[in-house]
Amino acid sequence: MIRNAVIHLNNEQPLLADLFAMPQPTDIGLTCTNLRTLGGERPLYADHIGSWFLFPLAHIRFVEIASTVDQESSDGHVGETAAPIVNATVEEELTIDEDFLRRVREA
């Protein structure tokens, strides 16, 4: 289970939810549970917090999943697993020009 994914719906405020699995390219909908607002409140249209919800992908702009997510294994153990979403390139550390800093301080 992927916890605290942020679902950005078309023309709506983002919602937090727990996803049953990572969305696949062949999916036509996003199935989730524990739906809540970013403030932690239950949305008006969710009668029971334990219900599961199916959002058609046509109504979702994008889904935000943290690069480190809590996943529940088949034995019920919840652990923190690194799940890289995109291969990011590591940028070199930038050095600050001392002459530039001096000019900023003088301004």
pTM for the full predicted model = 0.61
**Fold topology of 2-82:** SH3 type barrels. (2.30.30)
The sign of the dihedral angle between the CA atoms of 45, 50, 54, 60 is positive
The model's pLDDT over 15-28, given as tens digits with 9 standing for 90+, comes to: 999 999 998 989 99
Residue 70: Cβ within 10 Å count: 14
Q: Would you list the domain boundaries of the chain?
A: 2-82
Phi (first) and psi of residue 37, to 5 degrees = -80, 170
Residue 68 near residue 83 (C-beta atoms within 8 A): yes
Residues with Cβ within 8 Å of residue 42, at least 6 apart in sequence: 35, 36, 49
Residue 91: the pLDDT is: 52
Residue 99: the pLDDT is: 82
Amino acid type, 90: V
The model's pLDDT over 59-106, given as tens digits with 9 standing for 90+, comes to: 999 999 987 645 554 445 444 444 444 444 545 556 677 887 888 888
